[in-house]
Chains A and B, each alone.
Chain A
């Protein structure tokens, strides 16, 4: 089949969740199909400033067509209209304007879809919240497969999405929770599949010596990802400091770029962005992975932790991560500081249970998230729609 994967930004150096998902799925599809990535020249997800050269390039087996962003995002206008839309005070026209202001505004990408959309057998659109999906998908709706990457945030409830969600020929979801969230507004006959994302088995014997010079003390618990208030990290830091104030001897290692101030505390070690080999070593040696984010469409880091047999402790207010954890029987969850303390204490003091939860998590990944399983579901959907 000739396939197009349409995404707001694309690059091997881009770490965003939906962007990474699109890239790895496209790479696997390209093993059997002719795959073109349709994207913009943007790299920065805040400004959408043009960074990559426009036109055609190749990344491995993938052909990449980039279209320029006509105007960078105006943050003042975007925040003003976000206030209106999220407070449920916006008209339909203002709701539609939100998608223009959110961007990345790439009219030439839409022109390409208009003129050449018919030459692709299927076009897969990642992330409903961006310009390319909102304005691009309706141009090729009968061949479009939407990968919404929807989270339970205020945007998902805006009225103007009823039309967008009624159009795709098929849906690919990341979790059953996402399917429930979006599925009620999807056309009844549109086929769908919950695929999540594939993982290769973790390499055994990760070189934990990579951690020797990093001033990490055993035992430690781990946070991996952007250190950001939107990811629940400010609450995590508060909960953790309260926990160690009770006299517990444990270090919190945080690996990822930080957009908040991390307290200078002996029990907290912030590593910043880390290479893959360090990431693997951290996952191999940590006691528990902490996942405080209140909004996720699929937590890849949970799957990575289970891939290493590491149990997780997640924020129960996020239906997706709580759902993943209970389906896997791969960890515990908490709603507040007291439950955080109790659950973390339990995991750190019950070694056998902790090991068992981690092993159950790995069995869940083996069952649901190996590439052959994921691609079989995806191929079946592409044949069906």
Chain B
């Protein structure tokens, strides 16, 4: 019996999936440039690299954003008080009474915030991927 090589088989399956995806997007009125298989493949590869290969915790754009501006989503609820004396009591009431009563709303929002945070990271990665490609092209055209 001949050996089945996973990587080779996956290349075949991935090619089929890409072709189906391209036809599906064109059928639904997507970018006419995708009639050209090579262009579609280049776009898909760029975006695919951003989604699959970029580490969302090591991107340039978030570092460049003004650190004074609270731009990051706060997905965890942080309960605090500025009152030095009754602060502990207030925190206790917030944690043990108010939070349990509104937990369903908190959990619903938290899940959506997490999704949004993931999308933000993916979009940052896409922009970075395109910027890298642009820098490479510029470097080549300058030579």
Chain A residues with a Cβ closer than 8 Å to the other chain, count? 29
Distance between Cα atoms of A317 and B52 in the complex (Å): 7
**Does A356 lie within 8 Å of B76, measured CB to CB?**
no
**Does A329 lie within 8 Å of B3, measured CB to CB?**
yes
Q: A317-B52, A331-B6, A360-B3 are in contact. Are A80 and B76 (CB under 8 A)?
A: yes
**Does B21 lie within 8 Å of A332, measured CB to CB?**
no
Q: A157-B57, A317-B52 are in contact. Are A342 and B16 (CB under 8 A)?
A: yes
**Does B6 lie within 8 Å of A329, measured CB to CB?**
yes
Q: Would you give the shortest CB distance from B125 to chain A, in whole angstroms?
A: 13
**Does A87 lie within 8 Å of B9, measured CB to CB?**
no
- Give residues 89-105 of A contacting B (CB, 8 Å): none
**Does B4 lie within 8 Å of A88, measured CB to CB?**
no
Q: A335-B52, A338-B21 are in contact. Are A357 and B13 (CB under 8 A)?
A: no
Residues of A within 8 A of B21 (CB): 338
Q: A79-B76, A80-B78 are in contact. Are A343 and B13 (CB under 8 A)?
A: yes
Query: What mask results when residues 336 to 372 of chain A are scored 1 for a CB within 8 Å of chain B, else 0?
Result: 0011001100100000010011001000000000000
Distance between Cα atoms of A360 and B4 in the complex (Å): 8
A333 contacts chain B at the CB level, 8 A cutoff: yes
**Does B5 lie within 8 Å of A88, measured CB to CB?**
no
Q: Which residue from chain B places its CB closest to the CB of A355 in the assembled complex? A: B1
Residues of B within 8 A of A342 (CB): 13, 16-17
Query: What mask results when residues 317 to 340 of chain A are scored 1 for a CB within 8 Å of chain B, else 0?
Result: 100000001101111110100110
Q: Which residue from chain A places its CB closest to the CB of B4 in the assembled complex? A: A356
Residues of B within 8 A of A83 (CB): 74-76
**Does A325 lie within 8 Å of B52, measured CB to CB?**
no
B10 contacts chain A at the CB level, 8 A cutoff: yes
Q: Which residue from chain B places its CB closest to the CB of A361 in the assembled complex? A: B6
A219 contacts chain B at the CB level, 8 A cutoff: no
A154 contacts chain B at the CB level, 8 A cutoff: yes
Residues of B within 8 A of A157 (CB): 57-58
Distance between Cα atoms of A338 and B57 in the complex (Å): 27
Distance between Cα atoms of A88 and B4 in the complex (Å): 43
Q: Would you give the shortest CB distance from A232 to chain B, in whole angstroms?
A: 14
Q: Would you give the shortest CB distance from B113 to chain A, in whole angstroms?
A: 12
Distance between Cα atoms of A174 and B58 in the complex (Å): 26
Q: Would you give the shortest CB distance from B15 to chain A, in whole angstroms?
A: 10
Q: Would you give the shortest CB distance from B62 to chain A, in whole angstroms?
A: 9
Interface residues of B (CB under 8 A from A): 1, 3-7, 9-10, 13-14, 16-17, 20-21, 48, 52, 57-58, 72, 74-76, 78, 95
Interface residues of A (CB under 8 A from B): 76, 79-80, 83, 86-88, 154, 157, 316-317, 325-326, 328-333, 335, 338-339, 342-343, 346, 353, 356-357, 360
Give 18 CB contacts A-B under 8 Å: A76-B95, A79-B76, A83-B74, A83-B75, A86-B57, A317-B52, A328-B6, A329-B3, A329-B6, A330-B6, A339-B14, A342-B13, A342-B17, A343-B10, A356-B1, A356-B4, A357-B4, A360-B3
